[in-house]
Amino acid sequence: MAKGTGAPDAPARVPDFANRGVWLRVVIGVTTAAFAAAVLRAAGWSAVPEEFALVCLQVLPPLLAALAVLTVASRALRRLPRGAGVIAVFALVAAAVLAAGAVVERAAGAAFAPDRALFFAGLVTAATLAGLQLRERALSPAIAEARLQALAARIRPHFLFNSINAVLSLVRSDPRRAEAALEDMADLFRVLMQDNRELVPLADEVALCRQYLDLEQLRLGDRLRVEWHIDNLPGDARVPALVLQPLLENAVYHGIEPDPQPGTVRIDIFASRGEITLALRNPYHREGTHHGGNKMAVANIRERLALHFDAEARLETRVGDGHYEVRIRMPYVRP
């Protein structure tokens, strides 16, 4: 049975410097600042390109060296408490900047002032850490919102009462299955009540989804058909908690319940080229007014993916041929 792995209060960590989104933001920010400095230093607009090239020669090699060092050390840095991690980041940046500056000075003959380089590197590092922390705070309400949305859905009378009635109908005829169903309900509530800010094993998320679908099949019977295509499941991969279960809930609620005929929910999960793909497909009914719930769940999951993986994760939806499909791609993060 799946158990929640979220902590009551997730510890603060430094950003993941191995993330392409972090690199992109830092390089664009520093390059923009270098261009502004070139404009201020140039005697006229015609001299801006040459001045910009000189500034970039002084700034970009130390910047890229610092980012490379932080990328290599990223996993170790994120194991440290935020205070110690920040100190380690500044120390690594200073060492990388001094080393890269000395190499550029010898190779290109460009002037290198260690004191000014360290001052500039300190400003960039502080601005980067502050900016990424503000971004994380702006996105973090999505975690609490996801938890509340999922909890509200679990307490929805039609789900709760029908699940209880389904369990009661099994108490005498199949007590073992009734006991397993009650344990599934307890596990669902346990996970939803926790603050799931940390990444969890993909195997745990899949186990939780199986428990949820087992409960739904108690009341929907043969109307709900589930196809799991997870022969190559990368169970050790770390994913955001409740990244798949809310989508399955929408698939059942919007795709299966409105139709008296049997419907199939298909789940494909696989790893390829350092990336995890989760694909969910269910019947789609154009009539009705309940599709807003789908959009809310998708928007919330998209925000949480951005919080954990920045630009390296994406979520796409597609409607066609009587089906609704959600496809999530995210980095293969190992423990």
Q: What is the pLDDT of residues 187-245, one digit of tens each?
A: 777 776 666 667 899 999 999 899 889 888 887 888 999 999 999 899 999 998 889 98
Tell me, what's the pLDDT at 145? 57
Tell me, what's the pLDDT at 75? 86
Pair 206, 235: CB distance under 8 Å: yes
Tell me, what's the pLDDT at 88? 94
pLDDT-derived band at 116 (thresholds 50, 70, 90) equals: confident
Tell me, what's the pLDDT at 8? 38
Side-chain half-sphere exposure of 153, counting CA atoms within 13 A:
22
Mean pLDDT of 308-334: 91
Tens of pLDDT along 16-67?
888 888 888 889 988 998 899 889 988 889 999 999 998 888 888 888 999 9
Tens of pLDDT along 66-91?
999 999 999 899 889 989 999 999 99
Coil, strand, or helix at residue 323? Answer: strand
List domains and CATH numbers for the chain. 20-139 (no CATH), 141-331 (3.30.565.10)
Tens of pLDDT along 130-161?
988 887 777 666 555 555 455 444 445 556 66
Mean pLDDT over each residue of the chain, to the nearest integer: 82
Tell me, what's the pLDDT at 150? 52
Determine the Cα angle at 188 with ends 182 and 192, to 5°: 150
In what helix (H) or strand (E) does residue 308 lie, and over which residues does it extend? helix 292-309
Tell me, what's the pLDDT at 317? 94
Tell me, what's the pLDDT at 93? 92
Q: What is the DSSP string of 148-171?
A: HHHHHHHH-HHHHHHHHHHHHHHT
pLDDT at 274 over 80: yes
- For residue 316, the cross-strand partners are 327
Tell me, what's the pLDDT at 334? 87
Pair 123, 157: CB distance under 8 Å: no
Tell which residue, 72, 138, 59, has the closest CA to residue 100.
59
Cα(38)–Cα(50) distance, rounded to whole angstroms? Answer: 9
What does pTM read for this prediction? 0.68
Tens of pLDDT along 287-312?
654 444 567 778 888 888 888 888 89
